[in-house]
A and B are shown apart, each in its own frame.
Chain A
């Protein structure tokens, strides 16, 4: 997950129990007037903006269940609504503390929207969020894929060295070989995409079920592990395809 930094995710990792319905505000007391704040973004007494909880995850922030197929319209609408609440533009006449809170909340909101909007980032985020239970998620590609990619990279390197010498039959043969390989990888990419979609559906169904404690958790962990594997393989394949596209056209 390139966009949301590691540390940010760490901050939000330990609250595996947070559900979408839980109230997102950290403090039960207003930082300014010390009166009780119950889940609103603004203090009921002094109307000052409240900082978002450190324990808040993106799903909860956007009031979404932890599903992988989400209502994108609703996501956008919530984003716009919350932006109207938190954006620094609406705090430029306020005091420094309120400005700082608005800035922090907005930055969090923007990161959340960016992460949840993209299905892949959404899945990666969810996996990390749930990862408390799945410590042994592997992030190296499986041996066969690894081999294949290594070999391809060597061929690609040869091609790159030959290319500046101008057209030749060797170069042409290599180009055709690389293009074949690319098509093969692209097919594989499409398969991964499809199986990922299936896993997403499975996950969402599982979330919909009434929790059967032990069996459900087992199933959940397996799913998370599977998704993680596909996701990381997908990254390798995608990068390789991009490299091939760039070099051989």
Chain B
């Protein structure tokens, strides 16, 4: 069985981890960094992902996509309030958001797939083997469409997604493995874009989720936005420029706002410094200012905690441990608020950035059949139901039901000869259909018989990924009946198919970009080394020869800015050939020097 990796596909940062005998490990990139910023940039030369894309964000914001997770499994209506904060254009097609970049459009799963591919490549390079299977984490409060979109992203990236696992539960696995925690624990996960709370019971290696709640649109991004709004106002007052009208400047302000927020977790006050074409803006910020600005947002996380406790049938005092996960829990304000609510000090021994990926690796190891003593019993976060008369939702599966779970419903006809029944599947806690999430629709086919005679049983099954499967059976004939479920906010199988094919094309482009980058790096190194050599060799070679080398070096300097790696390579070879003599001369000189500096006795010895 090939290795399965664990992936934390975050709003802000993504990580990949694996497990061996020693335990789970996060895989670092060449620079030693484990976090890959979840940012994708589309340059003229192809795709860039992670840190390079973050740099691209300021240069070319309209072609750099960040926080794409907010759009997964959603329609335009769901995100209309935050659209103003994104520098790129969006539209909707078949219920799915499309992101417009230049003359191309991308669905959120396609963009997520680009991040996944970068992680896959990282893992392959590090582990020196092909990776084709993964466990991917999602916020516990993700609905069916959002989970399905994540699974699609995996497919498009060429990964078989063996399991979609909830982020807080993944974190609990990493903790449970670490210190053999037992008892009732609360996992509070506040990241860049989402908030989750999960209540678990840990006993004898079983991780039983009792309840979960959250807000899939609340995180560090929202805290940043508060500061951005204030900064933009202040800049307009002091410098008389409307930053909002310039996407590039907006991104500069946004990044500085985040840095200020992060610094204020460690410091009491810090200076916001923003270089603008109109001058430098500077302003001192205190932690107190910041806390006042975001107090209500942080407090918004408390109600879901109370709901989760209530659903678990527990009171705060029964919770043995509170564990903090996610970058935003580094804020002292969050610690205070959580401590106030639970009446005990929360803790976070494991790196809150890495713990979710580590847990995903543990789950991967369980699925791979290696870890046998641990078992996660998770729940579905939202009630599932169908539309009934009068636009009311009738719940079939309640929220916080342990998965896998299924519910059967019998359907019949009301009119003689009726041959179909339309079924509308929903998710949510509200009474009325319009207040809940529309998941999918399908048409049940029935034999033309007198009213009430046909009997078709539909089975709604939520699997261990929290993803719905619908099957139907004609009770009279006992035969299974196929159902074509049309997702309300999801890609169809055909669309995913096409995107998988497209992604091969991207892969070719990716390789091209990588080759250019590598050749360019090499060219830079050679230019620096040759220039040094020229200085040292001034008196050793002919002026004409030096001039020839300089000329070809300049040509390399020009070629390397282009995007044809073969041209760059050819020039590099030419430089190497031309400098062959210089290298020899320098070598001899070095040797001579070395000998001259030594005493005779050293040489003879």
Contacts and interface: CB of A to CB of B under 8 A. Distances in A.
| Bound pair (A, B) | yes
Interface of A: 2-3, 5-8, 80, 83-84, 87-90, 92-93, 103-104, 106-107, 110-111, 113-114
A114 B395 CA distance: 16
Given A6-B410, A107-B405, 18 more contacts: A2-B395, A5-B408, A7-B409, A7-B457, A80-B204, A80-B206, A83-B375, A87-B375, A87-B377, A88-B463, A89-B367, A90-B366, A90-B375, A93-B367, A103-B404, A103-B461, A103-B463, A110-B404
A2 B408 CA distance: 12
A88 B402 CA distance: 13
Contacts of A111: 405-406
Nearest to B135: A92
B401 interface: yes
Contacts of B204: 80
A2 B396 CA distance: 8
Secondary structure of the B contact surface, majority rule? strand
B489 interface: no
B398 interface: yes
Contact of A110 (B163, B363, B405, B410): B405
B376 interface: yes
A80 B409 contact: no
A93 B402 CA distance: 22
B464 interface: yes
A8 B458 CA distance: 12
Given A103-B463, A110-B404, A92 B410 contact: no
A109 B380 CA distance: 16
27 contacts: A3-B401, A7-B409, A7-B410, A8-B407, A80-B203, A80-B204, A83-B206, A83-B375, A83-B377, A84-B206, A84-B375, A87-B464, A89-B375, A89-B464, A90-B366, A90-B375, A92-B162, A92-B367, A92-B368, A92-B369, A93-B367, A93-B369, A103-B464, A107-B461, A110-B401, A110-B405, A114-B402
Contacts of B377: 83, 87, 110
A5, A90, A114 interface centre (most CB from chain B within 10 Å): A5
Nearest to A106: B404
Interface string B1-43: 1000000000000000000000000000000000000000000
Nearest to B206: A80
Interface string B514-554: 00000000000000000000000000000000000000000
A5 B409 contact: yes
B177 interface: no
B403 interface: yes
Interface in B369-397: 369, 372, 375-377, 395-397
Nearest to A3: B398
A132 B407 CA distance: 22
Contacts of A7: 408-410, 457
Contacts of A5: 396, 407-409
A107 B369 CA distance: 21
B403 A110 contact: yes
